[in-house]
């Protein structure tokens, strides 16, 4: 609740406000009074800037008022908790805004750069070898007084570059989401509940569409190889149909799917714990090294502040503290610039050119998924990919051959990671 208040105050442009529901079914484990207790406790940590506005309505009254509730299984529905929820309008941009903030404060930002070797030096410092992924084999070395490993689900692998068999700090938890089109009266409305196997389960509004999920399953493979499996889609659709039987969702209704791996903190249990943890690696033979696990995006600022406090205890700052702006890094106003895709007028050609010039863009995937939100929208930017690549070609020094390669990589990325239900357009 504190993090959402801060985000609402500092970057409201990156958040969408929605009405959400927590259904109270007669046959489920949470009776109304427990739901009230939970949300009222949560509400105590809210603020006037981002209030929870929680109340509970009888099933019939809620169904009359809200389209999404109407579709819930009325034969089992007792009542509905109603509250205000805020959603990132897309996570990659929040990450980028934060990176640009760090750069303004003096950080050196190196996109597509991988730490490939960590060597402890006398005096508790580190020598880190970095490889430029755009030119495999090309490396540089940097000295560091402190090492912060924030490599998410790769964190254990990265520690393995410094010491043999480091203690396991994380458990990879795979998550899958499934995008569908619900009736128009569900627009802007969402739901959270507990699935039939006791895990959090959401129906999230996404423009004119909604996505259901996520799943939670231990994932031991390489996070880069994670892909959605048919049985995971089946599970999500079944759960959705238990809640909204009249929808009778099937595979034909799926617009696209995606998955990822969360870096949950390791514990004695097989599935780890949902706890943000900063591990001091001294006991593993890695002095002046910290490893972060267990951060959902919503807690990223809290995690950043906690790391900064730890670092302050370990190092004497060489300069005075510089304030972070925390603001969304918006594109300059460009009313006269045409949209790149007329179905999605919010993204202008001028925005792409600004991002290409100032925001560390290397690929078309960077541009359309991580600098502007075209990739995350229905159509996924496939029909305007070539137009977008050509619009920034002069800035990024892309010749005709590179433009074609970028468009082809983009199409492959979308097919591979989202498996959209419509065929990819032929790119001329
Ligand atoms: C389906 C799904 C839904 C989710 N929904 C939500 C949600 O609604 N709200 C929420 O708050 N969170 C959500 N999460 C969780 C959230 O995405 C993750 O917890 C979060 O991204 C973890 O952040 P991170 O920075 O620790 O790791 P990551 O975001 O995984 O970042 C780690 C980075 O380290 C880089 N890296 C790896 N190895 C190296 C190396 N050797 N050198 C340099 N860099 C390296 C990687 O390229 C990557 O960019 C969801 C996750 C999934 C999978």
What is the DSSP annotation of 366-386?
IIIIIISGGGGSTTTTTTTHH
151 and 158 in contact (C-beta within 8 Å)?
yes
| Mutate which of 170, 222, 260 for ligand 1 pocket (most atoms within 8 A of beta carbon) | 260
Cα dihedral 278, 280, 284, 286 sign: positive
Q: Residues 158, 163, 169, 173: is their CA dihedral positive or negative?
A: positive
Closest atom of ligand 1 to 115 CA is: 42
Strands (E), 181-276: 189-194, 200-206, 209-213, 217-218, 254-265
The pick from 297, 302, 417 for probing ligand 1's pocket by mutation, whose C-beta has the most ligand atoms within 8 angstroms, reads 297
Rounded alpha-carbon distances, angstroms, from residue 16 to 6, 55, 194:
14, 20, 23
117 ligand 1 Cβ < 6 A: no
- Is the torsion defined by CA of 151, 157, 163, 169 positive or negative? positive
Say which residue the tokens 């993204």 belong to: 347
Residue nearest ligand 1's atom 25 by CA = 152
Q: How far apart are CA 275 and CA 293, in angstroms?
A: 8
Residue 297 in contact with ligand 1 by CB distance below 6 A: yes
Tokens of 298: 């919503």
How far away, in angstroms, is 294 Cα from ligand 1 center? 10
Long-range Cβ contacts of 99-105 (<8 Å, 24+ apart): 99/360, 100/329, 100/359, 101/324, 101/325, 101/326, 101/327, 101/329, 102/324, 104/325, 105/322, 105/324
Q: Identify the CA nearest to 41 among candidates 69, 81, 87.
A: 81
**Ligand 1 atom closest to 297 (CA):** 11
Atom 47 of ligand 1, residue of closest alpha carbon: 151
pLDDT computed for residue 411 by the predictor: 97
The closest residue, in CA terms, to atom 26 on ligand 1 is 152
**Ligand 1 contact via 152 beta carbon (within 6 Å):** yes
Residue nearest to atom 34 of ligand 1 (CA): 151
Question: Which atom, in ligand 1's list, is nearest to the CA of 223?
Answer: 30
Pocket perturbation via mutation, ligand 1, pick of 262, 277, 302 by most ligand atoms within 8 A of CB = 262
Q: Which atom of ligand 1 is nearest to the CA of 158?
A: 41
CB 87, CB 18: distance < 8 Å: yes
Residue 352: which of 332, 372, 369 has the closest Cα? Answer: 372
pLDDT at 11: 94
- All domains in the chain, ordered by first residue: 2-91+177-239 (3.30.9.10), 92-169+266-314 (3.50.50.60), 349-418 (no CATH)
Q: Please state the atom number of ligand 1 nearest to the C-alpha of residue 116.
A: 41
151 lines ligand 1 (CB under 6 A): yes
pLDDT reported for residue 428: 43
pLDDT at position 17, please? 95
Does residue 260's CB lie within 6 angstroms of at least one atom of ligand 1? Answer: yes
Task: Using the mean position of ligand 1's atoms as its centre, give its distance from the Cα of residue 152 in Å.
Answer: 5
What is the model's pLDDT at position 322?
86
Helical spans, DSSP H, in 108-178: 155-159
d(CA 273, CA 173): 10
Instruction: Tell me the pLDDT of the chain (428 aa) as tens digits.
Output: 999 999 999 999 999 999 999 999 998 889 999 999 999 999 999 898 999 999 999 999 999 999 999 999 999 999 999 999 999 999 999 999 999 999 999 999 999 999 999 999 999 999 999 999 999 999 999 999 999 999 999 999 999 999 998 999 999 999 999 999 999 999 999 999 999 999 999 999 999 999 999 999 999 999 999 999 999 999 999 999 999 999 999 999 999 999 999 999 999 988 999 999 999 999 999 999 999 999 999 999 999 999 999 999 999 888 888 888 899 999 999 879 999 998 899 999 999 999 999 999 999 999 999 999 999 998 999 999 999 999 999 999 999 999 999 999 999 999 999 999 876 654 54
Output the CA–CA distances (angstroms, integers) from residue 74 to 26, 183, 259, 263, 391, in the order listed: 10, 17, 31, 38, 51
């Amino acid at each position: 609740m504190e993090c959402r208040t801060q985000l609402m105050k500092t970057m409201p442009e990156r958040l969408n406000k929605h009405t959400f529901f927590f259904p109270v079914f007669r046959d489920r484990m949470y009776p109304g009074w427990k739901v009230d207790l939970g949300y009222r406790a949560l509400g105590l940590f809210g603020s006037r800037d981002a209030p929870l506005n929680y109340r509970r309505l009888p099933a019939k009254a809620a169904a009359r008022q809200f389209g999404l509730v109407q579709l819930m299984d009325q034969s089992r529905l007792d009542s509905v908790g109603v509250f205000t929820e805020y959603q990132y309008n897309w996570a990659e941009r929040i990450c980028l805004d934060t990176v640009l903030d760090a750069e303004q404060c003096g950080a050196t930002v190196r996109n597509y750069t991988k730490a490939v070797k960590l060597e402890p030096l006398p005096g508790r410092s580190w020598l880190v070898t970095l490889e430029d992924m755009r030119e495999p084999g090309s490396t540089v070395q940097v000295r560091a007084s402190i090492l912060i490993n924030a490599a998410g689900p790769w964190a254990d692998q990265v520690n393995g570059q410094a010491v043999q068999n480091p203690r396991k700090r994380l458990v990879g938890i795979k998550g899958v989401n499934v995008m569908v089109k619900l009736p128009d009266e569900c627009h802007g409305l969402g739901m959270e509940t507990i699935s039939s196997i006791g895990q959090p389960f959401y129906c999230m509004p996404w423009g004119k569409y909604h996505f259901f999920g996520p799943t939670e399953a231990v994932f031991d493979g390489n996070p880069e190889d994670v892909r959605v499996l048919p049985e995971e889609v089946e599970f999500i659709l079944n759960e959705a149909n238990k809640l909204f039987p009249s929808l009778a969702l099937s595979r034909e209704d799926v617009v696209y799917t995606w998955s990822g791996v969360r870096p949950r903190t390791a514990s004695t249990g097989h599935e780890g714990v949902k706890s943000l943890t900063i591990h001091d690696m001294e006991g593993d033979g890695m002095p002046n090294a910290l490893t972060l696990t267990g951060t959902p995006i919503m807690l990223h600022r809290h995690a950043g502040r906690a790391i900064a406090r730890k670092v302050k205890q370990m190092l004497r700052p060489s300069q005075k503290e510089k304030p972070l702006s925390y603001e969304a890094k918006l594109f300059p106003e460009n009313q006269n610039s045409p949209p790149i895709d007329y179905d999605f007028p919010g993204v202008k050609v001028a925005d792409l050119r600004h991002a290409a010039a100032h925001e560390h863009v290397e690929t078309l995937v960077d541009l359309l998924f991580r600098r502007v939100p075209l990739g995350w929208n229905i159509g996924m930017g496939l029909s305007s990919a070539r137009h977008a690549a050509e619009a920034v070609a002069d800035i990024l020094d892309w010749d005709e051959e590179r433009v074609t390669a970028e468009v082809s990589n983009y199409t492959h990325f979308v097919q591979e990671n989202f498996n959209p239900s419509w065929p990819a357009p032929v790119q001329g």
